[in-house]
A and B are shown apart, each in its own frame.
Chain A
Amino acid sequence: MLVLLAATTSCHKLESWSDSQHGNFEALWSIMDQHYCFFTEKGVDWDEIHSRYVAKVSDDMTDKELFYVCADMLNELRDGHTNLSSSFNVSYYRKWWSDYPENYNARLVEEHYLNFNYLSAGGMDYAILPQNVGYMRYSSFNSMVGESNLDQILLHLNVCDGLIIDVRDNGGGSMTNVETIVRRFITERTLAGYISHKTGPGHDDFSEPYAYYYDPAEAGRIMWGKPVVVLASRGTFSAANNFVSIMQYRPNTVIAGSTTGGGSGMPFNSELPNGWGIRFSACSVLDAKGNTTEQGIEPTPGCAVDLDPVQALDGHDTILDFAISYLTGTSFAYNRQ
């Protein structure tokens, strides 16, 4: 009797949706409603969006038609971390970078600054520029960078007066690589930022922001204590955005270029009854001052520079030139003949 009572009262309810076009739409809307973390911050009325988009759904529409309705609904969130995946397409909100200048040209740097002659290790391309400035290009935080890699890179660049870390167009990747790199540039335990996760399905159900810290790399590792310029652009997103948010508070460091792309919500994955996958921002990461960086990080005052397309035709990356001038204390302005 006791067991029966326990059994009948203790099976916990699981929400479910039918595998119909309406069912899949409602599943998507509900998953986002319960788990997405930026409704309030972005001023999104998710109930109003439901009213508008459910009217576009019918059970006899094709899968592709449903996909585009759902993708348009997700684009209302203006979030590059939110993607709907099907067997025929992945939705992607691109305006966070496509509405802005790219401000980066890899060929321009490799040809006119590196002369196609650079070293590569741990996902980093690096060289010593003629002005005795070190240049380190990290194109993706998905590339695992090892401690030995960083030892070799920083040892090689050790003779330089300053260091440029170029994370323009770096779309992000693993947060553990952020810590691995930052630890070479700090001399004591450093507040890196805060994480605030959802505690329930309500739009404002969040935990108290949890402070997380980075320690310097272990004794014996090659460290960098000289000035640093981090180059950033709208394409600097997600983990790269997080890297910039930490480095901006390092002494003797500036952020040059343009506002980063943001992407401070750590994504979760889920899925719909028809097998489509959904990725979305679920956990907000704040900078060391408790500020959100979802809308991007501004360059250091006085360091906002765009890539001049005219000068680029003549082999000049005006953002890189700015960084070199900053580190050498000399004018590196381009003089057009």
Chain B
Amino acid sequence: MKRTIIYIIVLIVAVLPAYPQEEAATLRPVTSAYTAEIGDARLANTYLTPLKYTGWSAAFNYERMQAMKFNPDKWVMRLAAGLTLDGTENPAKNADMWRLVGEFSWGMTHRWRIPCNITLAAGGSTGVDLGVLYNSRNGNNPVAVEAAWTVNLTGYAAWNTRIGRLPLTLRYQPTLPVAGVFFSPDYGELFYEISLGNRSGLVHCAWWGNYFRMENLVTADLHFGATCLRLGLRSNVLSTKVNNIVTRVVTTAAVIGISGEWMSLNPSRGIDSKARIISALY
């Protein structure tokens, strides 16, 4: 009897599934960047003026990238926010036009790590642009509103390399809206009429035929220890035509700022020595 019980216990233990060993923790640091930008701007808005204005552009941008929790090796999220101020003059230099725009976008890309430390990513994002153009010489039509919500194609190509002993990450990130909605008054509609309650026909579906925008961002992150010096170039092109009103914004700016990877740590837990760190960009 005693021998039978022992045989049964051994049999049960033999067929029970083995408990898996606990997996190493996955750490997903946030890659954040704060950048200031300065460059040139070319503006046109036929609601305000038939002429092209030229001048300077300045911006402050914040970017946050993190590998996604559900599949950190393959998916990366990106949040971007920025504020841009353009100051321009007409060709005769006796009138000025200002543009102040805030932008926010969030998206996800699927990435593929290929040989030579190159990462390619492609995906989508959604974003909101909100701002105004102000022409100082105009009376009843001094302001044009720039307001849009778009769904975009985006992605990046990144190359982790070195210059001598200095680690360097080069990246190219384009963003291309493909659809959305945007605001425009009618051809000769005053904001006064809108303020009196005439709100029809102000929102338009955006597609490449009436709303084309593309942003190209090239950055180089020079890794100095835990913090990187980010240098780069950003160009933005916006061209819209609706209600016979044409708007064109072209800005090109040099980028300088800092970037780095940050993690939230719980001092009471520390970091698992077997933790696997999955970077969003580096």
Contact = CB atoms under 8 A, between A and B. Distances in A.
A and B: bona fide binding partners = yes
A58 B132 CA distance: 39
A212 interface: yes
Given A197-B193, A267-B139, A271-B51, A282 B90 contact: no
A interface, size bucket: 35 or more
B109 to A, nearest CB: 16
Nearest to A13: B246
Contacts of B93: 275
Contacts of B51: 271, 273
A6 B213 CA distance: 9
- Determine which residue in A16, A200, A274, A275 has the highest number of CB atoms from chain B within 10 A of its CB, and name it: A275
Interface string B226-247: 0000000000010111011010
B49 interface: yes
Interface string A1-39: 001001101111111100100000001000100010100
B239 A266 contact: no
A19 B52 CA distance: 13
A25 B88 CA distance: 24
Given A11-B212, A210-B198, A270 B50 contact: yes
Interface in B146-188: 174, 176, 186-188
B208 A271 contact: no
B187 A3 contact: no
A269 B143 CA distance: 11
Contact of A200 (B52, B91, B92, B187): B187
B138 A11 contact: no
Nearest to A193: B196
Contacts of B212: 6-7, 10-11
B187 A205 contact: yes
B19 interface: no
Interface string B91-116: 11111000000000000000000000
B208 A6 contact: yes
B192 interface: yes
Contacts, number: 123
Interface in B117-143: 135, 137-142
Contacts of A11: 212, 237, 239, 248
A334 interface: no
Contacts of A13: 246
A268 interface: yes
A271 B140 CA distance: 14
B188 A198 contact: yes
Contacts of A7: 212, 214, 237
A83 B178 CA distance: 43
B50 A275 contact: no
A267 B186 contact: no
A37 B93 CA distance: 29
Given A269-B138, A275-B93, A10 B196 contact: no
Interface string A75-94: 00000000000010000000
A273 B193 CA distance: 29
Given A10-B212, A275-B93, A268 B193 contact: no
Contact of B90 (A275, A279, A283): A275
Interface string A32-63: 00010100000000000000000000000000
Contact of A271 (B137, B214, B244): B137
Contacts of A200: 187, 243-244
Given A6-B212, A199-B243, A271-B50, A12 B248 contact: yes
Contacts of A252: none
A271 B95 contact: yes
A201 to B, nearest CB: 6
- Determine which residue in A3, A14, A267 has the highest number of CB atoms from chain B within 10 A of its CB, and name it: A14
A207 B190 CA distance: 12
A195 interface: yes
A201 B187 contact: yes
A314 B190 CA distance: 48
Contacts of B197: 212
Contact of A274 (B92, B189, B214, B246): B92
A144 to B, nearest CB: 16
Contacts of A199: 186-188, 243-244
A207 B200 CA distance: 11
Interface in B68-106: 90-95
Contacts of B49: 270-271
A273 B51 CA distance: 7
A25 to B, nearest CB: 14
A118 B50 CA distance: 48
A69 interface: no
Interface of B: 44, 46, 49-52, 90-95, 135, 137-142, 174, 176, 186-190, 192-193, 196-198, 208-209, 212, 214, 237, 239-241, 243-244, 246, 248
Given A198-B187, A269-B138, 5 more contacts: A6-B208, A9-B208, A16-B50, A268-B140, A275-B95
29 contacts: A3-B174, A7-B212, A7-B214, A9-B209, A10-B239, A12-B240, A12-B241, A13-B246, A14-B46, A19-B91, A27-B50, A37-B188, A87-B94, A197-B188, A197-B189, A198-B186, A198-B187, A199-B186, A205-B187, A207-B189, A212-B197, A267-B140, A268-B138, A268-B188, A269-B138, A270-B49, A282-B190, A283-B140, A283-B190
